[in-house]
Every structure is written in C-alpha cells, then in structure tokens.
C-alpha cells in the first residue's frame, strides 16, 4: 500500500480482524501520531481483552502531539497492554505492525507485517 494513494482503512481492517481472530497470538505496533478517535487503539485494546499479547511502541516526541500520545499511552497501559516509549534523543517516526498467527502446515507460526511507506 502507498499513502496517500491507498486508503488507510485497510490497515485498520487488518488490525480489527486480528483482534478477534482466535489464531492470532500477538500484535506489535509502532505508533507515531494517533487520531483523536483511534480505531487502531480500539482494535489493540480489543485484542488484549481477547487474550492476544499486545505491545505498542509510542513515540512521545511526535511534534504537537506529545500530550495526546501520553494520554493514549495511559489508555493502552490501563488496558494491560505493554507500552514502550521512544528512545530519548532518537525520534521513531514510523508506523508499522507485526502480527503472529498460528496456521496449519510445516511452519505453523506465520508473521504478517506492514509498514507505511511514503514515496519521495
């Protein structure tokens, strides 16, 4: 997917589906800026409630969104999600996820990943 050419809804749909899929064991996400009514955060909290291991890296140095990211971090932590904050002195400006899912076959653990790529 290439943004802004493709809708971000695909990413939201994958995370919502992973949150309720009994074969998904974990979801890891890196968040830089989060919408004021985030469907992604809702999906991650739903995944945690459904027994998935959820880890989120939240960048606190997102320009003009620091307070909002702190509030989202608190909401995620309150839901029992492991939150990792950005590294001091290093700005993590990426949006990506990694989903672990158990499937049939010779290699039962499958990983699905996505990263936002912005063309130059």
- Say whether 107 is catalytic: no
Neighbouring residues of 45: CB distance < 8 A, sequence distance ≥ 6: 75, 76, 79, 81
Catalytic hit among 6, 93, 107, 114: 93
Please state, in angstroms and as integers, the Cα–Cα distance from residue 34 to each residue in 13, 40, 42, 48, 95, following that order: 16, 8, 11, 18, 10
| DSSP class of 41 | H
Q: What are the phi and psi torsion angles at 115 (to 5°)?
A: -135, 150
The catalytic residues are 93
């Amino acid at each position: 997917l290439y943004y802004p050419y493709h809708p971000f809804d695909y990413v939201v749909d994958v995370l919502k589906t992973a949150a309720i899929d009994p074969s998904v064991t974990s979801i890891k996400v890196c968040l830089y800026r989060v919408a004021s009514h985030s469907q992604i955060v809702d999906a991650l909290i739903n995944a945690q409630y459904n027994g998935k291991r959820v880890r989120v890296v939240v960048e606190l140095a997102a320009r003009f969104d620091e307070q909002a990211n702190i509030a989202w971090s608190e909401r995620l932590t309150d839901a029992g999600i492991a939150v990792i904050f950005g590294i001091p002195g290093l700005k993590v400006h990426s949006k990506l996820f990694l989903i672990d899912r158990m499937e049939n076959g010779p290699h039962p653990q499958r990983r699905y990943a996505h990263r936002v790529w912005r063309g130059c």
